[in-house]
Chains A and B, each alone.
Chain A
């Protein structure tokens, strides 16, 4: 989606290795979020950020950490990847000036942990 990009789009990694996913926005939105999407669970919030260096946990934060050193970038790190973290990860942003108070989502990162 315009204004928000995720990288990489696809990644295969081995169990026990660290992995970092990046979300980059050009909209200057205050809020950024990381979700994971799994069959039967919809989208579940992992972590979110409400400003530079301000982050908090979501409903499925165990095994994940995040960092936001500047407005544009929100990083999601799996310190030691496990097979249960195989999922599609979506970044979202919100807090713009428009009428839409909802979120804008990135295109997703498909992570496979083998």
Chain B
């Protein structure tokens, strides 16, 4: 039968070039963002994270940029190597609150 493969956006770069992978998010309340790398046959692996009170964070060869105004996140990989070949996922976490409970303490 016919097989349908995953249609993922693909970025192709030359070894040694810098790579920029982009991610748009929808929830303005997101306060924590993570980039994961998934190699073929493996689970997602943490690369770098950033909290919403920051706009840039650097790791080893990787930099994450956060633009909350346009709800955009990017991952920059410097001097891309063959070992960087993988699928990259961005993820967001939102701190959500319940309605609250008022505690009144009688003297």
The interface of chain A, by Cβ under 8 A from chain B, is 1, 39-40, 42-43, 90, 92, 100-108
Interface size class for chain B?
10 to 19
A108 in contact with B42 (CB, 8 Å): yes
The answer to whether B79 has its CB under 8 Å from any CB of chain A is no
- With A43-B89, A107-B42, A107-B43 in contact, is A101–B49 under 8 Å at CB? yes
Closest to B87 in A: A42
Shortest CB distance A102–B (Å): 4
Contact, CB under 8 Å: A108 / B41: yes
- Chain A interface helix/strand/loop/mixed: loop
Closest 3 CB pairs of A and B: A105-B43, A39-B6, A102-B34
Interface membership of chain B positions 17-43, coded 1 if the CB is closer than 8 angstroms to chain A and 0 otherwise: 000000000000000101010000111
Query: If the complex has contacts A39-B5, A43-B89, are A101 and B44 also in contact, measured as CB distance less than 8 A?
Result: no
- Give every chain B residue within 8 A of A104 (Cβ-Cβ): 46
Q: Which of B87-107 contact A (CB under 8 A)?
A: 89, 91, 93
- Interchain CA distance A103-B47 in the complex, whole Å: 11
